[in-house]
Every structure is written in structure tokens, then in C-alpha cells.
Amino acid sequence: METWLFSWATDDVQSYGVKLALVGLAFAVLVGWPVTAMSFSPEKELMKCSMGALCGGILASTMAALRLYLGWAYVGNRLFSATVECKLSSILATLMLYLTSCSFLEYVQGSC
């Protein structure tokens, strides 16, 4: 089952960038602006408030992109490993499954 966040990786680059920008904008408006408005007076120091909110939005976008990268890196590492470890939750044993002579790439290409 795909989650809404990890399905972004299948989109084109423009759609991916727009979604990350929307995450940053939403975070800047909903979280960053109220926090900086409590720290600085928006009437007197509008630039400081805007920059503080913008930095919060950039941080949120960076964290979302990092989460996507780490999640897909984990999936990639599991797909290309020779062994796959499956931990059974009800049993204290660990089952190791070894791929046969057919590697994952051979299986995908249909040559196995």
C-alpha cells in the first residue's frame, strides 16, 4: 500500500517541486508566522517576521525531502541485498531468506 508522501516520488519533477513548496508554504503560514509574530512585532519588523516564517517553511520542506530520500534509500537497499531479514513479531527467532542464484535484477529483467 502506498502512502501519500512516498507516492510523490513517482511524480514528475515539477509536480514534486510544487508539492514540496506547498508543504513549506503551509508550514510557514500556519506555524512559522505565529511563532515569529510572538517574537517580533509584525507592524514594526515585518522583514524579520517574514524571514523567520520563511526559514521555518524551508526547514519543513527540507525535512520532507529528507524523509522521502531516506525512505526510498531503505527500500532500495532491501531490494538489492542478497539476504532479506524478516523478524517475526510473535516468535523470538529471525528468519533469513537467501536469494537463489537468480538475483533481483535478473528477475526484473525476466532472464531468470
Residue range 77-89, pLDDT digits in tens: 877 877 666 655 5
CA 61 distance to own-chain centroid: 10
Q: Backbone dihedral region of 110: left (phi > 0), alpha (psi from -120 to 50 degrees) or beta?
A: left
What pTM did the predictor assign? 0.65
Q: What is the 3 state secondary structure string of 28-90?
A: HHHHHHHHHHHHCCCCCCHHHHHHHHHHHHHHHHHHHHHHHHHHHHHHHHHHHCCEEEEECCC
Q: Give the start-to-end residue ranges of the domains of the chain.
A: 6-81
pLDDT, one tens digit per residue, over 26-63 is: 999 999 999 999 999 999 999 999 999 999 999 999 99
The residues that bridge with 87 in the sheet, in sequence order, are 94
